[in-house]
Structure 1
Amino acid sequence: MEFSAYLEQIREQADAFRAAAVTAGPDTAVPTTPGWDVRRLVAHLARVYSWVIGALDTDPGAERPTRERPPEEWDAVVPFFDDRLDTMLTGLRERGPDAAVWAFGNDKTVRFWARRQAHETAIHRLDAEHAAYGDTVDHLTYAPDFAADGADEALTLMIRDRIEVGGTVLFHAADAGRAWLATLTPGAAPEIGPATVVDADASVVGTADAVYRAVWGRPSSAVVGGDPTLVAALRTP
């Protein structure tokens, strides 16, 4: 996806996130993130944005930037969210996609953060929608290209823990024409690459929207086949 498309997605998803959070109210439980209420969800995303703002002003080889502590009161945390969102988007635009900045991935450019925050915001938008509307969020379907990009980012960047089981898992986003094969080896981080075979020990198959949600551990219509323990081992943070 283009850099400008990521920025558009951040704004679109953040606006929808905010609307759903306000509809749900601060004390409403977030069913997709057990133990969290909407106030904590908004504070979390605002704090992530503040971290990105710091990263955009930090050299690639410098120490990890710190995160601001958001206010606890609902009437203060929502404006804090609005401000950090606007400041982050301004920083991303002004620096441009190829500027070198601190990042936790191999890509030490602003482009990394634009992609990361587009999907961070989209997944938490889904959390806010579930808090506001319950188990079924029929009005939200992520576009195939965006959802497939998000599944790719989650699989190749966000799943880095050592795995204690062995086997292979096929992820297939049919409407986007994308497929990934995760190879799990006990005691090592999973290896993720394009799928060149269809035979695997487990599979997660569906639309790109469904696979995106499934990879992030959210309610999904994706069909899980084979050994479910292999799929469960591939946990995103």
Structure 2
Amino acid sequence: MQLIEQNYARMRETATRDLTAAYLDRAMAELRGELTPRKPEEKALTWYDPDQTVGFWARRMSLEAVAHRVDAELAAGEPVMPIPADLAVDGIDEILVTFLAFASRQWPEDFGDGLAGADGRAVSISVGTDRRLVRPAASGVEVSRDDSTAEASISGAPQDVLLWLWGRGDGAGLTFDGDPELVKRLRYLLKEATQ
């Protein structure tokens, strides 16, 4: 809840209209009212079959608040404030596992032609020693933490990687190696996963 509160406060700072600020205040009060009295392990319906808990929503809202805080900063021409490294790493995991891997297998039709030509060649995504292997295939995307060889790689600081995965950064500060077509396909699949 503390992370949601911090990101809310930053969005509130960048709100330029009284109506926007009032809307943020009301929405934050409602969210606080839903999450605060509940335990993370308490049952709650979600669209992500493997996790049907209040904790899913607390995580989801924390990461959603980060993404929209960054949107507000960019729209207002403000500098993007730092995202705590542990939260960014968790966000990387969420977008790859929950939004990309799960959704591509659950709703493959939402990914257009992005999966059609995918052949299982891997893209490695690394943040320090934390590495994930992303393998797009016609049947969906698989994300793992194995040490297999990848045909392309993306690496950088947690915040830079998270923002690139969410389409909120041009990749400055990241290192891209290997087959650029695989990175391009991943970028397309991520766009479809996060719409």
**TM-score over 0.5 for the pair:** yes
Q: Contact 2:132/2:145 (CA < 8 Å) preserved in 1?
A: yes
Name the structure 2 match of 1:233. 188
1:102 to 20, 37, 45: 45
2:156 to 195, 199, 206: 206
Name the structure 1 match of 2:86. 145
Superimposed CA distance per residue, residues 43-62 of structure 1 (whole angstroms, 9 cap, x where no aligned partner)? xxxxxxxxxxxxxxxxxxxx
Name the structure 2 match of 1:116. 60
1:171 to 125, 128, 149: 125
Cα distance in 2 for partners of 1:78, 1:129 equals 14
TM-score by structure 2 length?
Answer: 0.81
Q: Contact 2:89/2:158 (CA < 8 Å) preserved in 1?
A: yes
TM-score by structure 1 length?
Answer: 0.67
* SS of structure 2 residue aligned to 1:170: strand
* SS of structure 2 residue aligned to 1:196: coil
Q: Does 1:130 align with 2:74?
A: yes
Coordinate RMSD, CA, aligned: 1.8
Cα distance in 2 for partners of 1:216, 1:195 equals 23
Cα distance in 2 for partners of 1:222, 1:88 equals 34
Superimposed CA distance per residue, residues 89-139 of structure 1 (whole angstroms, 9 cap, x where no aligned partner)? 2211102211111111121110000000100110111111111126xx3x5
Name the structure 2 match of 1:35. none
In the alignment, structure 2 segments of 5+ residues that lack a partner are 109-114
In the alignment, structure 1 segments of 5+ residues that lack a partner are 1-6, 23-73
* SS of structure 2 residue aligned to 1:153: helix
**Count of residue pairs brought into register by the alignment:** 173
Moved over 4 A (4+): none
Q: How high is the sequence identity, in percent, across the aligned residues?
A: 28
TM superposition shift of 1:75: 4.3
1:223 to 157, 160, 175: 175
Once the two structures are overlaid, the 10-residue window that deviates more, 145-154 or 156-165, is: 156-165
